[in-house]
C-alpha cells in the first residue's frame, strides 16, 4: 500500500498541471507565442513522473531525505522516460508506471535492509547503490515489462473489429479499468492507433472512472482529492481498486452506458486524444473539432452532455443503486489516503 499510495500521489502531482492548463495554453500560444514556455513546463512535469513517484514512495516509508531522493533517481531512470541517443539525454513521456513500481519496491527493500546500518555513511552508499545498481537494473528490465502494455494493446485492437455499439461499450469498460491500473491509456491508444468512435468510447470510459470515483468518495475524501479526480486524474484511485475490486462495479455500469451514448451521439477522437478522458478537456475538444459543423451549438451541447452531465448523473444513480438498493459497496471503501 505504501507503493500504491506513493505512486497515486506522485501521479496526481505530475499530471494535474497539464489537466488544468494544457488545452488552455495550446489555444493561447497562437496569439501569445511567449506562453510556449508554459507548455514546455507541462511536458517537463509529465517526464518527471518517475522521480516524483519515487520520492513520494520514500516519504510513505518514512525514509530520510537522502534515501527518498535516491529512490526517486533510481525510479526515474527505470521509468523509460529518459532516452540516451548519440551522447544526448532526451526526456520523453511519463514512462512505464509498472516498471516504476517494481524498481521502487526493490529499492525500498534495499533501503529497509541496509539503511539503518550505514548511519553517517548513508550519503556515500545509498545514492550510488540505488542509481547504479537498482536504477540500472530497472532500466534493463524496462523492455520486458513494457511488453505488458504491448500485449494489452493487442487485445484492445481486437475490440475495434467488433460491431460498433458493442465495440463502444467494451472499449469504454476496458479504458475505465486501464485508467485505474498502472497501464498508460495514452500509450495503449497510440500503440493501436485508436481513432474515431473507438477513441471517443475510450475517453468516455475514463470519464466514467474519474467522475465515478470522485462522487463515490465525495464524503470520505478531501474536496481537493475529489476535484482532482473530476479534473481528469482517476489513476490516483489505483490503491482503492487494488484494495477492493468491488469498488469498480458502479464505475463499470457507468462506463457501459456512456459507451452506448458515445455510439448514439457518434463521439469521436484521434489516437493522440484517446486515453485522456476529460483531462485538459482533450476528449470533448477533439470531438467538437472532428464533428460535422465543428463548433456548432449542437456539438457543444452534445459534448457537455456526454462528457460531463451524463457521467455525473450516472455516478449519482449508481452510487444510490450499489450502496442502498444493492449494497455491494459503501462510501468508506472509496477513501483515499493522500
Domain end point (choices 92, 123, 145): 145
Are 30 and 167 part of one and the same domain? no
Query: What confidence score (pLDDT) does residue 30 get?
Result: 80
Q: Is the dihedral of CA 216, 206, 19, 284 positive or negative?
A: negative
3-state secondary structure the chain: CHHHHHHHHHHHHHHHHHHHHHHHHHHHCCCCHHHHHHHHHHHHHHHCHHHHHHHHHHHHCCCCHHHHHHHHHHHHHHCCCEEEECCEEEECCCCCHHHHHHHHHHHHHHHHHHHHHHHHHHHHHHHHHHHHHHHHHHHHHHHHHCHHHHHHHHHHHHHCCCCHHHHHHHHHHHHHHHCCCCCCHHHHHHHCCCCHHHHHHHHHHHHHHHHHHHHHCCCCCCHHHHHHHHCCCHHHHHHHHHHCHHHHHHHHHHHHHHHHHHHHCCCCECCCCCCCCCHHHHHHHHHHHHCCCCCCHHHHHHHHHHHHHHHHHHHHHHHHHHHHHCCCCCHHHHCCCC
Question: In this structure, are 128 and 195 located in the same domain?
Answer: no
Cα–Cα distance, 89 to 121 (Å, whole number)? 30
The verdict on 129 and 176 lying in the same domain is no
Tell me the C-alpha to C-alpha distance, in Å, between residue 172 and each of 39, 120, 151, 218, 269: 29, 53, 18, 23, 13
Residues 140 and 42 in one domain: yes
**Contact (CB, 8 A) for 236 and 228:** yes
pLDDT at 259: 95
pTM reported for the whole predicted model: 0.79
Same domain, 168 and 109: no
Answer yes or no: do 168 and 57 share one domain: no
Same domain, 53 and 171: no
Q: Which of 127, 145, 163 is the last residue of a domain?
A: 145
Q: What is the pLDDT of residue 81?
A: 86
What pLDDT is attached to residue 312? Answer: 94
Q: Are 111 and 67 in contact (CB under 8 A)?
A: yes
Q: Which of 120, 145, 170 is the last residue in one of the domains?
A: 145
Using CA atoms, how far apart are residues 52 and 71, in angstroms rounded to an integer? 10
pLDDT, position 141: 93
CA atoms within 13 A on the CB side of 80: 20
pLDDT at residue 262, rounded to an integer? 94
One domain, residues 220 and 325? yes
Same domain (yes/no): 185, 251: yes
Give the residue numbers spanning the domain of 10.
2-145
Judge if 141 and 153 occupy the same domain. Answer: no
Domain count of the chain?
A: 2
In this prediction, residue 175 carries a pLDDT of 92
What does the block give as the cell for 158?
Answer: 481486437
At residue 21, the pLDDT reads: 76
Asked if residue 282 and residue 141 are part of one domain, the reply reads no
Q: What are the per-10-residue average pLDDT scores of the chain (338 residues)?
A: 86 78 78 86 85 94 93 93 83 84 94 83 87 93 87 84 90 92 80 85 93 92 84 82 92 95 92 80 86 89 94 95 93 85
Query: What local confidence, expressed as pLDDT, does residue 232 receive?
Result: 65
Same domain, 270 and 219: yes
Note the pLDDT of residue 333: 92
Amino acid at each position: 500500500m505504501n507503493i500504491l499510495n506513493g505512486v497515486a500521489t506522485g501521479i496526481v502531482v505530475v499530471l494535474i498541471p497539464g489537466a488544468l492548463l494544457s488545452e488552455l495554453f495550446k489555444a493561447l500560444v497562437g496569439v501569445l507565442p511567449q506562453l510556449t514556455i508554459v507548455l514546455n513546463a507541462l511536458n517537463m512535469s509529465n517526464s518527471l513522473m518517475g522521480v516524483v513517484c519515487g520520492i513520494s514512495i520514500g516519504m510513505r516509508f518514512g525514509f530520510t531525505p537522502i534515501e527518498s531522493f535516491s529512490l526517486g533517481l533510481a525510479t526515474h531512470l527505470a521509468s523509460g522516460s529518459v532516452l540516451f541517443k548519440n551522447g544526448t539525454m532526451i526526456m520523453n513521456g511519463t514512462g512505464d508506471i509498472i516498471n516504476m513500481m517494481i524498481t521502487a519496491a526493490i529499492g525500498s527493500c534495499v533501503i529497509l535492509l541496509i539503511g539503518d546500518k550505514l548511519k553517517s555513511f548513508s550519503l556515500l552508499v545509498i545514492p550510488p547503490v540505488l542509481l547504479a545498481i537498482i536504477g540500472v537494473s530497472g532500466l534493463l528490465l524496462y523492455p520486458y515489462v513494457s511488453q505488458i502494455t504491448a500485449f494489452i494493446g493487442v487485445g484492445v485492437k481486437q475490440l475495434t473489429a467488433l460491431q460498433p455499439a458493442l465495440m463502444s461499450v467494451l472499449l469504454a469498460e476496458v479504458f475505465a479499468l486501464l485508467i485505474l491500473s498502472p497501464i498508460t491509456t495514452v500509450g495503449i491508444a497510440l500503440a493501436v492507433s485508436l481513432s474515431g468512435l473507438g477513441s471517443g468510447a475510450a475517453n468516455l470510459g475514463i470519464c466514467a472512472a474519474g467522475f465515478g470515483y470522485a462522487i463515490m468518495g465525495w464524503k470520505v475524501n478531501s474536496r481537493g482529492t475529489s476535484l482532482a479526480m473530476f479534473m481528469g486524474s482517476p489513476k490516483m484511485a489505483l490503491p482503492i481498486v487494488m484494495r477492493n475490486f468491488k469498488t469498480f462495479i458502479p464505475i463499470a455500469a457507468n462506463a457501459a452506458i456512456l459507451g452506448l451514448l458515445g455510439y448514439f451521439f457518434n463521439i469521436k477522437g484521434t489516437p493522440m486524444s484517446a486515453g485522456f478522458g476529460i483531462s485538459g478537456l482533450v476528449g470533448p475538444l477533439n470531438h467538437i473539432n472532428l464533428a460535422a459543423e465543428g463548433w456548432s451549438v449542437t456539438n457543444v451541447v452534445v459534448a457537455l452532455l456526454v462528457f460531463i452531465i451524463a457521467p455525473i448523473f450516472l455516478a449519482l444513480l449508481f452510487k444510490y443503486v450499489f450502496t442502498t438498493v444493492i449494497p455491494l459497496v459503501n462510501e468508506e471503501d472509496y477513501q483515499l489516503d493522500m
